[in-house]
Amino acid sequence: MFLRRLYVLFVMEIQTRRVHIPGVAAYPTGAWTAQQARNLLMDHGVRIIKTPVRSPRANSYAERHAGTLRRECLDHLLIHGERHLRRVLAEYAQRYNEHRPHQSRGQRPPLHEIDRPTDLTARITSRKILHGLISEYRRAG
């Protein structure tokens, strides 16, 4: 088995904390990064904000997500290649965006529908994701 470093490009919508993962590459280049950004811009209306030089707090959202991804997911799995990493990241991003509570959003996930009421009498169901690493609990209904 050969160990290889893979780089992940992710983009976060700061207001909602929604995460997009445009690409994974073993040897990312500037041209590759620009193409991934173009692909994301075609799919979503995005406004680019440049981070100020030498201001560590400007990257706090990205640093927090990278740490969370590592602690909750990647530190517990053995990744078997680029394709496997893409699948794991897609599954984790879906969980992060649709289910994982965020303190800054009042314990709601980024894609929470505010107008949809929660039936507190509904049965609770469990679903295992990421090869059983994480269990999600939801109200059936």
- Please report whether residue 141 resides in a domain: no
- Please report whether residue 32 resides in a domain: yes
- Please report whether residue 1 resides in a domain: no
- Please report whether residue 128 resides in a domain: no
CB contact at 8 A, 112 and 96: no
- Please report whether residue 84 resides in a domain: yes
From CA 88, how far away is CA 29, in angstroms rounded?
A: 23
- Please report whether residue 61 resides in a domain: yes
- Please report whether residue 72 resides in a domain: yes
Length of the chain: 141
Q: Indicate yes or no: pTM above 0.85.
A: no
**46 lies in which domain range?**
7-113
Please list the pLDDT of the chain residue by residue as tens digits (141 residues): 578 899 999 988 877 888 999 999 999 999 999 999 888 888 777 677 777 777 777 788 888 889 989 998 999 988 988 999 999 999 999 888 887 776 666 667 777 766 667 777 888 888 888 888 888 777 776
Number of domains in the chain: 1
- Please report whether residue 138 resides in a domain: no
